Structure 1
Amino acid sequence: MRQVEIGVGEEFDEGLRLRPDGRPEHPVRRLILDDWHDAGPGRIAYAATRVADSLPLVIGVATRPPPDELRPLLEALTLTLTGPRVDAGAQHLVPVEDPRKGFAELAGIVERRPQASLTLGQLLRRTPSLGTLQGLAAEASAYSMLLGGTESTAWRADRRTPRSAAKNGPLVRVRRNGGTLSIELDRPQRRNVFSFRMREELFEALELAALDDTLDRVQLTGAGPVFCSGGDLAEFGTAWDLVAAYLVRLDRAPWRLIDRMRDRVTVRVQGAAVGAGVEMAAFAGRLVAAPEVFFQLPEVEMGLVPGAGGTVSVPRRIGRWRAAWMTLTGARVDAAIALEWGLVDEIDDHER
C-alpha cells in the first residue's frame, strides 16, 4: 500500500482500489494544508465536497496556521495534524510534535488495520448528526460486522488471553443516601474490567435510577486504583450469533441510560478510563477526573471500533476529528489534555 497526496490542482480519486483479497491499496490520503492557503473559494468548496465523499481517510497536515477560508476543508477532513506553531484551539486540529511524522505513524496504523480504520472513518461522519439510539445502532452494527472480520479474528488468534476468574458477589454496588444514588464498579482486582455480567448489573442499577424521579443525583465511580480498564478481553469474540449480539448491545446498553439521565449523572474517574470506561463516562452530564488519570480508545488495533457508545459520546465532547485521532492511534490522553479538549469537565485531586 502507499499513501496518496492530494494537491491543489489535482482531481480527486474517491475510490479504495480494492485488491482481489478485499484489501484497499489506498486507505489513507494526505492533504498538505500549507499548499492550499492561496486556493480560491471555488476550489476549496469543491475539495471539501469531494473529501467529505471520499471512501479513504483524508488526513490534513498543517505546519502553519490555516486561514479562515480553509475552514470548509478542515471540517471535511478526517482530522488535521498541526505543529507547535499552530494554535490548535479548534476541534478540527490535533497538535503533535511533528505533523509529518505524525501522519506517517497514522498511515501505518490505517494500512495495518484498514477494515477497522475505514469503518471508523465512515461511522464518525454519521454518528454526530444522529440521535443517541440511532448513533448507537450505527455503532453496534459496525462493531458486530467487524467482529466477524479478518482483522479482529487475527488479533484474537494472536493473543492468548486467560479466561476470567469468576468473582463471588456483585460486580456493581449500589447505595442510596437521600436523593443521591451511588453506583460503584467493584472488581478492583481486575481493574474493573467491563464484563458481560458487570454490564448487566450496571444496566439494572441505572434502570432503577431512571424510573425513580425522587433521585436528584446519580454518581458512578470505580473501586480501587482504576475506574475501568475496558472490556474483558476473555469475552471478545465469544458471541456465536452476531445479530443477537448487535441487539443485546442496543437493548442492554447502560450508556443509553446514562445519556437519558445525563443532567443527573456525575462520573468520577481515577487511574485509567480505557475503552468502555471512557465511552460510557463521556455520556454523563459531568465527568470529573483525578489528576493522574489517562483515557484511551484501543479498539482499532483489535480490528474493531468502539462498542460502548464511544463514537457517539466522545465526539459530542471533543469533536469527531479528535475522536478519530484518539481511536485510530489508541494514544493515551492525560487529564490536562482531556480538560483542555472538553473530554472532562473538572480535575479534582480530592479523595472520593
Structure 2
Amino acid sequence: MLQTVKPLAPADLCWLDPADCGPGSPHPYLLVDTDAGALDEQAVAALPCPVLGLGKFDPACDTHVERRDIVRVATAIHKAPLAAMVLVQLMRMTQSMSPQAALIAESMAFATLQQGLEFKRWLSDTGSRSAAGPPARAPLLIRQERSSLHLTLNRPDEHNKIDVAMRDALCEALDLAVLDRGICQVVLTGAGKMFSSGGSLREFGTTKDAAVAHWVRTLRLPAQRLLQLGPRLVVHMNGPAIGAGIEMAAFAHRVTASRKAWFQLPELSYGLLPGAGGTVSIARRIGRHRLVWLALSMARVRAAQAHSWGLLDALS
C-alpha cells in the first residue's frame, strides 16, 4: 500500500521545479498543508500535477482531501498520472470559460488522452473493441404530452449504457426539442433500476484517430444539446448514474434522483477524464474542487451526499 507523504507548506510550492513534478517524476501529485498558509495560485498553475489541499479550504488547490482519502486518491494518481495531470490542467483553464468553449476544451483534452500510454494500456488489457450491432429494441422511448417531451433511456438489460445508437437517438430527440420552442419542458429518465452505466466500454477506442473522434464529439455530443435546452430540461435519475450518465444529467435545470441512487466517475481507471460534458456540467453545479475529487478518487457518492453538495436538487 502507498504510504502517505508528509504535506508540504504552501510556501514550498514557489521553490519547486515543475520538471520535478507530474508524470514520470517522484511527485505525480503534491499534498499541501493548507492550514500553514495561503497558496500562490500562479505557482499552482505552473505545476503539471494535481495539488491536493489538506486542511482548510484554499481555492488555489485542485481539490481537497481528508486524511482517510489520501491513499485512495494517491494510488489512483500513481496509476494514471497523465490523465490526472490533464484533468487538473483542464479544470484550471476552463473555470473562466463559457460552457460552450469549455465543452470544446474538454473534448480536446479527452482526445489527447486517447493517444496516451495509459488509455492504450487499458485497451490492451481489456481486449479488442467493436461497435455494437443494431439494437434489439428502441434505445430511447419518446413520448409527447402537450408541451412536454418525455425521453426514457430504454436499455434496462444493459443498464442504459450510452453507445452510438443511444447517443444518436438522444441527439435526434434533443435537436427536435431545441428547435421546437413549443416544447416547454424536456423530461429525461431511465428504464429499469439504473439511470445509466455511462459510455459503452466496448466502443471505447473504436475510432482510431483521436482528432476524428474529437470532430465527431463536437457534432454528436448530447451535452451540447442539453446545454442549449437550459431551463427547459428536467432529469430524474431512477437509480445509479456512472460516468456519462451523471455528466449528462447535471446539465439539467432541475435534477432529482431516487434515494437509493449513487454516482461515480470512473474514467481515470481507463486513463481518461470525464468526456461527456461532466467537467462542465458537474463542475458548474458543485465546483471544480469537488469535481476533481470525484474524478481522482473514483468514489461512489450516495444520493444524500450528492444532494447536500447541490449535484441534486431533490430526492424522491
Residue matched to 2:96: 129
Counterpart residue number, 2:154:
186
Within the candidate set 62, 69, 75, 1:78 is matched to 62
DSSP-derived class of the 1:224 partner: coil
Alignment of 1:1-352 (within 5 A): 5-7=7-9, 10=12, 11-17=14-20, 23-36=24-37, 44=38, 47-62=40-55, 66=56, 74-81=58-65, 99-160=66-127, 164=132, 166-348=134-316
Q: Which amino acid aligns with 1:29?
A: L
C-alpha RMSD of matched pairs (Å): 2.1
Bigger Cα Rg:
1
**Percent of aligned pairs with the same residue?**
36
SS in 2 for 1:129: coil
Any idea what SS the aligned residue of 1:220 has? strand
**1:52–1:77 CA contact under 8 A, matched in 2:** no
What TM-score comes out, normalization by structure 1 length? 0.83
Q: Secondary structure at the match of 1:76?
A: coil
Question: What is the DSSP-based 3-state SS (H/G/I as helix, E as strand, rest coil) of the residue aligned with 2:93?
Answer: helix
| Residue matched to 1:86 | none
Stretches of structure 2 that go unaligned for 5 or more consecutive residues are: none
Which deviates more, 167-176 or 209-218? 167-176
The count of corresponding residues between Structure 1 and Structure 2 is 312
In the aligned structure 2, how far is the partner of 1:251 from the partner of 1:13? 41
Shift of 1:200: 0.6
Q: Distance in 2 between matches of 1:9 and 1:77?
A: 13
Structure 2 residue aligned with 1:95: none
Which has the higher mean CA deviation after the structures are superposed, 317-326 or 246-255?
Answer: 246-255
Q: How far apart, CA to CA, are the structure 1 residues paired with 2:142 and 2:192? A: 16
Contact 1:258-1:284 at 8 Å conserved across structures: yes
Letter in 1 for 2:18: G
* Matched position secondary structure for 2:141: strand
Mark the runs of 5 or more structure 1 residues left unpaired by the alignment: 37-43, 82-98
How far off its partner does 1:9 sit? 5.2
For 2:41 and 2:96, how far apart are their aligned partners in 1? 18
Q: 1:18 to 1:286 in 2, by over 3 A?
A: closer
Q: Distance in 2 between matches of 1:144 and 1:75?
A: 28
Q: CA deviation at 1:133?
A: 2.0
Contact 1:173 1:185 in 2 (8 A): yes
| Deviation per residue, 1:228-283 (Å, 9 max, x gap) | 10100100111022111101101111111111112011001022111000001000
1:144 alignment partner AA? A
For 1:132 and 1:51, locate their aligned partners in 2 and report how far apart those are by CA, in whole Å: 23
Corresponding letter in the other structure for 2:16: D
Counterpart residue identity of residue 15, structure 1: P
**1:297-321 per-position Cα deviation (integer Å, ceiling 9, x unaligned):** 1001110011100111110000000
- The C-alpha deviation readout for 1:168-202, integer Å capped at 9, x for no partner, is 23211111110010011111110001001110110
| Contact 1:119–1:142 (8 Å) recurs in 2 | yes
Residue equivalent to 1:96: none
Q: Which secondary structure does the structure 2 equivalent of 1:174 belong to?
A: strand
TM-score (norm 2): 0.93
SS in 1 for 2:103: helix
